[in-house]
Chain A
Amino acid sequence: MMRPYIYALGFVFLASGALSAEPAQRIVSAGGSITEIIYALGQEHRLVARDSTSNHPAEVSELPSVGYVRRLSAEGLLSVNPDLILTEEGAGPPETLEVLAETQIPLVSVPMGHDREAVITKIRTVAIALDMPEEGEELAARIGAAIDAASEQSDLAEKRVLFVLSIQGARVLAGGSNTASQGIIEMAGAINAVEGFEGYKPLGDEAIITAAPDVILMMDAGTAMYVTDEEVLSHPAIAATPAGQNKRVLRMDGMLLLGFSVRTGQAIIDLAAGLRGANG
């Protein structure tokens, strides 16, 4: 809804940031994947605050949190005295952005996406904003190579994977097309078992059976709505699928799996290994 606006702001600020002589020294990172890139560039000493999705590496949680990226608080941001704010695309609300524009604190909106190109673009954008483009190119090349190496396997082409975001009662919330889960599943060379809807949606029992997943992919413990593997497998529809019959539930860290950042190569390797292990 507000995307063109935010792109425009990001562009203007990026331009003005590039013109200023001093590289930013007090950075707010609003986005888990951005924070990981800042750490990978060795620039964590320049961070003064993070958002609620930044949880890797563990020590980042010692920084104050500015909350959720779409609900940034104007006074909260100003209170940490930043000279640069890096956000995932979709930062808001617009009223906060207006206040930031007035105080002339540069805000860079980092484009998101669920493929190799998106990871490279993220790294480049963050590196340029941090005024270290060469290091950024180097990191981008390294991460790109890691993703390429990890994506090489072709033995999982028949593997149907169902990503389950959560199960509430008997309702299964699954990842459809145009999601981070589909992106990483396809990068690992496997197939997203459900198609035909966008985003994360509740999936009916019959649709689950029709999807016939070989593996159920879920996020690790630590999320609020934790359900055990036994509960997942005892779901009547899941129990009727190949994954249910062979008891294949694969768990991975959410930020690693879906972050699309510097650890994505590792995520592909772990996912592929997990899927192979689940192969039995």
Chain B
Amino acid sequence: MVDNTGGAVRLDGDRSVTARRLSWLLAFLLFASVIAGLATGAAGTSLWQAMADLVNGRSLALRDRVVLWEIRAPRVLMGCLVGAALAVSGAALQGLFRNPLADPGIVGVSAGASLGAVSAIVLGGALAFNAGFAAWLVPISAFIGAWVTTILLYRIATRRGRTSVATMLLAGIALTAMAMSLTGILVYMADDAQLRDFTFWSMGSLAGSNWSKMAVAAPIIVFPLLLTPLLATGLNGLSLGEAAAGHIGIRVQQLKAGAVLIVAASTGAAVAVSGGIGFVGIVVPHLLRLVSGPDHRYLIVNSALLGATLLVSADLISRVIIAPSELPIGIITAVIGAPFFLWILLRQRGVVDL
């Protein structure tokens, strides 16, 4: 059945209008969550009061300036970047692998980052770095771990210029196991304090966000993300199967390389600054597919918006729920997200079969 509206030909089942409307809604929700994130916190500093002061030319109290500008603002912004990176990477990988279970963990990012982080935590003390560098050691090492693991995996799965997705899936499992066993050795060597540091790292947190970290991490996260929409039509074509995609003119090999590089850079940097935040990468694209279909042209943009909204909101909860202490954000995304996702799945079971 064909429906002619405004000259454009729309096929039955085309949900692009829904998807575009959804983008606006999600953009609004993201804006609202960013404002809420800036306005709320344990310290009770009022964003509105501060804005009124600024407009009237009054200078802010030192404490309020620090809370708003040094604590909340970089956290909220980092939450947006990390959430978007995780969700978009999930969407791209699910498309690439044509597998609903794919998330950044499947290409070794999480295991590699864990290995990098635990190496820095356990072995970093032995290397006498100066104080300024010590704080950077864990994120840098985690990023290198993630990047090296993913690129190694890609090289393993590529032969004579052709990457086998199946090999990548299986080798990913093997590399993850290897990274985890090395992590295990380091965990065994760790003392009590290092062990706790690593445990907290693996539960994830945006607490360490500040402007200097942002300056380093933001370009590595944002540039690859801006390139992802270029993959959209390719990923759409790939859903027909690799051979068919090739026949309709999609350069499959470049698509694979592009997707892997984008995920390695953006998720690697995101995990490096925030630790292990699960669930966002796998669930956000699924939720969006249920609402507005699998077209990657919209799925990728909407994943970025919803991922960012979700993480900023989860971080807000983590900051206030047991104030003045903080709950690791990975716990919140899992505790709230997992049952919610199950509920969606059960409700839609008759309609959609993933």
Contacts and interface: CB of A to CB of B under 8 A. Distances in A.
Nearest to A198: B191
A98 B131 CA distance: 12
Contacts of B188: 201
B53 interface: no
B121 interface: yes
Contact of B43 (A49, A52, A79, A90): A79
Contacts of B137: 1
Interface in A152-175: none
By CB atoms of chain B within 10 A, which of A3, A49, A76 has the most?
A76
B41 A66 contact: no
A223 B46 CA distance: 39
18 contacts: A49-B324, A68-B200, A70-B197, A71-B207, A73-B42, A73-B326, A74-B71, A76-B319, A76-B323, A76-B325, A77-B324, A78-B42, A78-B67, A95-B207, A95-B210, A99-B66, A102-B66, A103-B63
Given A70-B197, A71-B205, A94-B134, 8 more contacts: A67-B325, A70-B200, A75-B42, A79-B44, A96-B207, A198-B191, A199-B191, A199-B192
Contacts of B121: 1
The 10 closest A-B pairs by CB, nearest first: A67-B325, A76-B324, A5-B131, A79-B42, A1-B125, A94-B135, A73-B326, A79-B43, A95-B208, A199-B191
Contact of A70 (B66, B193, B324): B193
Contacts of A96: 207
A70 B137 CA distance: 16
Interface string B102-134: 000000000000000000110011000101001
B326 A71 contact: yes
Interface in B71-89: 71-72
A8 B67 CA distance: 24
Interface of A: 1-5, 8, 49, 52, 64-68, 70-71, 73-80, 90, 93-96, 98-99, 102-104, 198-201
A73 B196 contact: no
A99 B325 CA distance: 16
B62 interface: yes
B63 A75 contact: no
A8 B326 contact: no
Contacts of A199: 191-192
A116 B138 CA distance: 35
Contacts of A49: 324
Contacts of B210: 95, 98-99
Interface in B149-170: none
A70 B325 CA distance: 12
A110 to B, nearest CB: 15
A52 to B, nearest CB: 7
A3 B196 CA distance: 16
Contacts of A76: 42, 319, 323-326
B202 to A, nearest CB: 13
A67 B207 CA distance: 13
A73 B207 contact: yes
A75 B192 contact: no
A111 to B, nearest CB: 14
Which among B188, B196, B324 has the highest number of chain A CB atoms within 10 Å? B324
Contacts of A201: 188
Nearest to A5: B131
Interface in B312-351: 319, 322-326
Given A95-B208, A95-B210, A103-B62, A71 B200 contact: yes
Interface string B39-67: 00111100000000000000000110011
Given A73-B324, A75-B319, A199-B191, A68 B196 contact: yes
B191 A2 contact: no
A176 B319 CA distance: 37
Contacts of A75: 41-43, 67, 71-72, 319, 323-324
B131 A78 contact: no
Nearest to B213: A95
A4 B222 CA distance: 35
A91 to B, nearest CB: 11
A4 B207 contact: no
A111 B171 CA distance: 47
Contact of B63 (A52, A66, A68, A78): A78
Contacts of B324: 49, 64-67, 73, 75-77, 79-80
B14 interface: no
Contacts of A77: 324
Contact of A52 (B120, B124, B325): B325
A140 B209 CA distance: 41
B317 to A, nearest CB: 13
Nearest to A52: B325
Contacts of A90: 193
Contacts of A8: 131
Interface in B280-326: 319, 322-326
B183 to A, nearest CB: 16
A77 B43 CA distance: 8
